[in-house]
């Protein structure tokens, strides 16, 4: 009886150690990451593609942990439509704001704003001077040279 109890306790300890080790391995699996998400496409019906891209970013944060992730979203061309739609779409505003609270930076191409005559203060959701980059494509290249992984959701 004592031997059976001892075997049971030892099995529980070994099992717990294996589970704890697996959890630690999962937490350490991804480590620190720097990622740039590239959005240069139209959102489709109701901004469905934009919602999908933002969901991908949130899933990425959930997997890696916001403390382990440096995320930038670079938008140019039709991708600026994400923040244009967010100016009037409250749900999209909420998604963008939620990601910003998790330190996701949303960068907008100055060339697109100029070329399409978009007023960032009147037509886009929460775009500030520090969010504007001179060129979306040049910014993508710069970030990749700095070690950011490129993702096109």
CATH of the domain at 92: 3.40.1260.10
Query: 30 vs 18, 66, 138, CA distance in Å?
Result: 19, 12, 27
What pLDDT, on a 0 to 100 scale, did the predictor assign at position 59?
97
107, 135 Cβ separation under 8 angstroms? no
Q: Are residues 4 and 59 in the same domain?
A: no
Q: Are residues 7 and 82 in the same domain?
A: no
Determine the straight-line distance between the first and last CA of the chain, rounded to whole angstroms.
59
Q: Are residues 95 and 21 in the same domain?
A: no
Q: Are residues 11 and 80 in the same domain?
A: no
What pLDDT, on a 0 to 100 scale, did the predictor assign at position 16?
42
What pLDDT, on a 0 to 100 scale, did the predictor assign at position 27?
56
Q: Are residues 18 and 40 in the same domain?
A: no
Angstrom distance (rounded) from CA 108 to CA 80: 7
- Strands 132-133, 33-39: pairing is unpaired
Q: Are residues 2 and 16 in the same domain?
A: yes
Q: Are residues 107 and 88 in the same domain?
A: yes
40, 151 Cβ separation under 8 angstroms? no
105, 37 Cβ separation under 8 angstroms? no
Q: Are residues 25 and 40 in the same domain?
A: no
Q: Are residues 20 and 54 in the same domain?
A: no
Query: Pick from 51, 116, 105: which is nearest to 77 by CA?
Result: 116
Angstrom distance (rounded) from CA 68 to CA 72: 14
Query: Pick from 109, 55, 60, 59: which is nearest to 81 by CA?
Result: 109
Q: Provide block-wise average pLDDT over 10 residues at a time, the chain (153 residues).
A: 44 43 58 97 97 98 96 98 98 98 98 98 97 98 98 97
Q: Are residues 93 and 83 in the same domain?
A: yes
Domain of residue 81 covers 31-151
Q: Are residues 19 and 38 in the same domain?
A: no
Q: Are residues 22 and 56 in the same domain?
A: no
What pLDDT, on a 0 to 100 scale, did the predictor assign at position 89?
97
CA dihedral 111, 127, 102, 145 (to 10 degrees): 20
Give me the number of domains the chain comprises.
2
Instruction: Please count the residues of the chain.
Output: 153
What is the three-class DSSP state of 151? strand
């Amino acid at each position: 009886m004592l031997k059976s109890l001892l075997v049971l306790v030892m099995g529980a300890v070994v099992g717990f150690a294996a589970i704890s080790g697996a959890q630690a391995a999962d937490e350490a699996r991804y480590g620190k990451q720097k990622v740039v998400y590239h959005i240069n496409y139209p959102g489709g019906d109701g901004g469905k593609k934009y919602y999908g891209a933002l969901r991908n970013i949130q899933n990425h944060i959930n997997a890696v942990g916001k403390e382990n992730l440096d995320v930038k979203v670079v938008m140019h061309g039709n991708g600026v439509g994400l923040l244009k739609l967010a100016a009037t779409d409250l749900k999209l505003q909420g998604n963008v704001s939620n990601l910003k609270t998790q330190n996701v930076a949303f960068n907008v191409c100055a060339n697109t704003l100029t070329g399409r005559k978009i007023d960032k203060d009147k037509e886009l959701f929460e775009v500030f001077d520090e969010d504007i980059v001179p060129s979306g494509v040049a910014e993508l290249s710069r970030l990749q040279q700095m070690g950011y992984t490129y993702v096109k959701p």
